Amino acid sequence: MATTDIHIHQNVHQHDDHGHEHDEHHEGNFWTTYIFSQDHKIIAKQFLITGIFWALLGGTLSVIFRLQLGFPDMNLDWLKPVLGEWITAEGKLDPEFYLALVTMHGTIMVFFVLTAGLSGTFSNFLIPLQIGARDMASGFMNMLSYWFFFLSSVLMFISLFLETGPAAGGWTIYPPLSALPQAIKGSGMGMTLWLVAMAFFIVSSLLGSINYITTVINMRTRGMSFTRMPLTIWAFFFTAIIGVLSFPVLFAAALLLIFDRSFGTSFYLSDIYIGGEALAHDGGSPVLFQHLFWFLGHPEVYIVLLPALGLSSEIIATNSRKPIFGYKAMIGSMLFIAILSFIVWAHHMFVTGMNPFLGSIFMLLTLIIAVPSAVKIFNYVTTLWKGNIVFTPAMLFSIGLVSFFLTGGITGIFLGNSAIDIQLHDTYFVVAHFHLVMGSASFFGMLAGIYHWFPKMFGRMMNETLGQVHFWLTFVGVYLVFFPMHYIGIAGFPRRYYSWTNFETFSGFTDLNMLVSIAAIGTLIAQFIFLFNFFYSIWRGRLAPLNPWNSTTLEWTTPRNPGHGNWVGEIPSVYRWPYDYSKPGAKEDFIPQHIPYSETPESNLPHENELIKLETSNGEGAIIVEGNKH
């Protein structure tokens, strides 16, 4: 610890930060500091807290419908105080409300937790801190981004309390079901609120993404070339680009759906006879909506996943005390995944009646995406090899992420194959697949990120033991929830079924379904350990050292509670890549990015000694320095 401090003082001319802890140089009352703040760190925390709220709600909804699936005979009267009329007179969950639960669980988890909660928190928090910027390119836009998200959250939350219920046509809101209130109650006001909320959500996401991209391109500190950026930043950067390119398409899809619903157009509707009358809509195509939806929907998977992979890359390298293996290959595979993510969308649509030739093309492209994903897994495993692994809660969750990414990714090879997908499409096999590879993996990435950067966010440490207990319960719980679903899926059980008793073919597996439900309840309960740890540690946790994980990146050179502007005094310059862990010859097992090569002659590689000249001439030289050829 001591040596690190000395470096910090030498390079940053850092003042003693104790005097500045609570009143920074800028003016501000409670409202401008904590509510309408333009400080990226506060905004990140706002996203985080809102995300945690949604995660809890989304998880609770899933447990309610798991009660129905695992214990179909259970009397749910005790839920009446909360759910009211949605519990029928027989003490059962209303089948339509079941669909609403499924829909809202999906919407909340995909968009409000794993997009806004994950990207919103960590892109905001880490981009300026890790690239050495005082704040985002536009603090005001950043603030708007959160408040649009907040508005969207409020609308979505209100929709839960409508008498006709929230949207219930599945999170993919395929029309005509989502367009016709006579088809399902949730397609009335609930769907309207869903669409309006999502429109605001998209605005929020775009404001955020544009800001992230601009900040990464323009505001890196001296010496922070693209090839010296931590993988987290690369991941957020790609995520933001994907978001900017794909969310507008969802906006268009939603807008056309609003037209169809309210203004009598026929973009998605044709030849419909419902409720005793033939509708006037003619010439539309429901499949068009699916194309537009999945043009966002598939990149969305990577919007959710890439930040998690970025966070875990950083955490695994730090806690293995090793450079991430294949830094450039990791960037390359993320780039490749980002590009491919735009041209695989129709693998969600193999059996929608789409031209089978398109199916072949999309199958080809889809399976190609497995290659960069495999490269990432191999690189993680090699990073662990001959490391010196510290099992901090963040590291445990990152390991969990890799495990889920592997288990869930592998089933993607089945589903991406259109011939095999015929049978598996819309069965529990799909549910198992995406909950592991996208849901749980990203969720673990988010938790890992919280555990790892909590000291920087709140200046205090979370309790390690509680974090580890939380990990084991959640890790085992998630596997118990989703692994059995593979079997249920292979047996053909369709998704979004309220019960299977109407079918002889799907009459089995009451035992597995019960196991899944019990595990889901247990996993949800385990999250309260986290909640306790999180909120308790904000106020009562152990004071965090400046660099608790002996990490190399810039955020750990800031004061314990960085104020608006992040660094007191000059922003540190960057002289090396972010993964100089356990470098041969070095005194410590890490050399932070802001330590010049001239200070570490004992560990420099030959080409790094060359760079010393550039460092000493003047600081400007460092900007043009490229290259980390190890």
Partner 1 sequence: MMSLIIFLGVVLVLVILFLIFRLSTLVGIAKGKKESYVGENNGVHGVLFIVFTVLGLAAFFWYSYTYFDVYTLPIASEHGKRTDSLFWITMAVTVVAFVIISIVMFVFIYQYRYKEGRKAKFFPDNHYLELTWTIIPAIVLAVLIFTGLRTWNDITSPASKEAEVIEVIAQQFAWTARYPAKDKELGKVNYKLIDAVNEFGLDLSDKNSFDDFKSLELHFPVDEEILLKIRAKDVLHSVFLPHFRVKMDAVPGMPTQFKFKATKTTEEMRTETGNPNFNYELACTEICGKGHFSMRMPVVVEDRESYDRWKASQEAWLKQNPDYLKNVPAQLKEAAMIKAGLQKDPGAGVAAVKE
Binders of partner 1 among residues 370 to 399 (CB under 8 A) are: 370-371, 374-375, 377-382, 384-392, 396, 399
End-to-end CA distance of the chain: give it in Å, rounded: 27
Site track for partner 1 across 112-131, x = CB under 8 A: --------------------
- Which pair of structure tokens corresponds to residue 380? 């993680």
User: What letter represents residue 500's amino acid?
Assistant: W
Binders of partner 1 among residues 298 to 327 (CB under 8 A) are: 320-327
483 near partner 1, rule: CB under 8 A: yes
DSSP bridge partners of 460: 543
Binders of partner 1 among residues 391 to 450 (CB under 8 A) are: 391-392, 396, 399, 402-403, 406-407, 410-411, 413-414, 417-420, 422-423, 425-427
72 near partner 1, rule: CB under 8 A: no
78 near partner 1, rule: CB under 8 A: yes
Report the C-alpha gap between 437 and 421 in whole angstroms: 17
DSSP bridge partners of 274: 277
Nearer to partner 1, 218 or 388 (CB): 388
DSSP summary character for residue 223: T
Q: Count of residues binding partner 1 (CB under 8 A)?
A: 126
Distance of CA 9 to the CA centre of its chain: 35
487 near partner 1, rule: CB under 8 A: yes
Nearer to partner 1, 33 or 265 (CB): 265
The minimum distance between CB 32 and partner 1, in angstroms, equals: 35
259 near partner 1, rule: CB under 8 A: no
The interface region with partner 1, picked from 29-37, 113-121, 253-261, 473-481 by CB under 8 A, is 473-481
Neighbours of 71 (CB within 10 A): 15
The minimum distance between CB 309 and partner 1, in angstroms, equals: 16
Report the C-alpha gap between 600 and 614 in whole angstroms: 15
258 near partner 1, rule: CB under 8 A: no
Cβ atoms of 175 and 260 closer than 8 Å: yes
Nearer to partner 1, 513 or 566 (CB): 513
Nearer to partner 1, 127 or 180 (CB): 180
Binders of partner 1 among residues 450 to 469 (CB under 8 A) are: 463-466, 468
Cβ atoms of 407 and 481 closer than 8 Å: no
User: What letter represents residue 202's amino acid?
Assistant: I
The minimum distance between CB 201 and partner 1, in angstroms, equals: 22
88 near partner 1, rule: CB under 8 A: no
Cβ atoms of 184 and 167 closer than 8 Å: no
Q: Binder to partner 1 among 44, 118, 197, 272 (CB under 8 A)?
A: 272
Q: Binder to partner 1 among 28, 83, 91, 96 (CB under 8 A)?
A: 96
The interface region with partner 1, picked from 24-32, 121-129, 150-158, 503-511 by CB under 8 A, is 503-511
181 near partner 1, rule: CB under 8 A: no
Going by C-alpha positions, the residue among 202, 204, 187, 304 that lies closest to residue 254 is 202
User: What letter represents residue 625's amino acid?
Assistant: V
177 near partner 1, rule: CB under 8 A: yes
Binders of partner 1 among residues 207 to 226 (CB under 8 A) are: none
Nearer to partner 1, 82 or 278 (CB): 278
The interface region with partner 1, picked from 85-93, 279-287, 291-299, 555-563 by CB under 8 A, is 279-287
Q: DSSP secondary structure string, 404-455?
A: HHHHHHHHHHHHTSHHHHHHHTTBHHHHHHHIIIIIIHHHHHHHHHHHHHHH
Distance of CA 157 to the CA centre of its chain: 20
- Which pair of structure tokens corresponds to residue 105? 């669980």
278 near partner 1, rule: CB under 8 A: yes
Binders of partner 1 among residues 536 to 595 (CB under 8 A) are: 542, 545, 548-550, 579, 581-584, 589
Nearer to partner 1, 25 or 386 (CB): 386
The minimum distance between CB 542 and partner 1, in angstroms, equals: 8
Neighbours of 233 (CB within 10 A): 26
DSSP bridge partners of 427: 494
- Residue 56: C-alpha distances to residues 62, 105, 466, 526 (Å): 10, 10, 18, 11
Q: In terms of C-beta density within 10 A (0-12 exposed, 13-18 middle, 19 or more buried), how is residue 475 classed?
A: buried
- Residue 168: C-alpha distances to residues 100, 165, 397, 431 (Å): 4, 8, 33, 18
329 near partner 1, rule: CB under 8 A: yes
Nearer to partner 1, 435 or 564 (CB): 435
503 near partner 1, rule: CB under 8 A: yes
Site track for partner 1 across 134-163, x = CB under 8 A: ------------------------------
Q: Binder to partner 1 among 16, 502, 606, 624 (CB under 8 A)?
A: 502
Helix, strand, or coil (residue 93): strand
Q: Binder to partner 1 among 85, 271, 610, 620 (CB under 8 A)?
A: 271
- Which pair of structure tokens corresponds to residue 144? 């708007």
The minimum distance between CB 141 and partner 1, in angstroms, equals: 37
Report the C-alpha gap between 626 and 573 in whole angstroms: 14
The minimum distance between CB 18 and partner 1, in angstroms, equals: 20
Give buried/exposed letters for 480-489 (b at 16+ CB in 10 A, else e): bbbbbbbebb
Q: Binder to partner 1 among 36, 244, 506, 521 (CB under 8 A)?
A: 506
Going by C-alpha positions, the residue among 488, 502, 372 that lies closest to residue 435 is 488
Nearer to partner 1, 1 or 217 (CB): 1
Nearer to partner 1, 151 or 461 (CB): 461
Cβ atoms of 401 and 445 closer than 8 Å: yes
Report the C-alpha gap between 129 and 554 in whole angstroms: 6
DSSP bridge partners of 428: none
473 near partner 1, rule: CB under 8 A: no
Nearer to partner 1, 395 or 574 (CB): 395
183 near partner 1, rule: CB under 8 A: yes
Nearer to partner 1, 213 or 324 (CB): 324
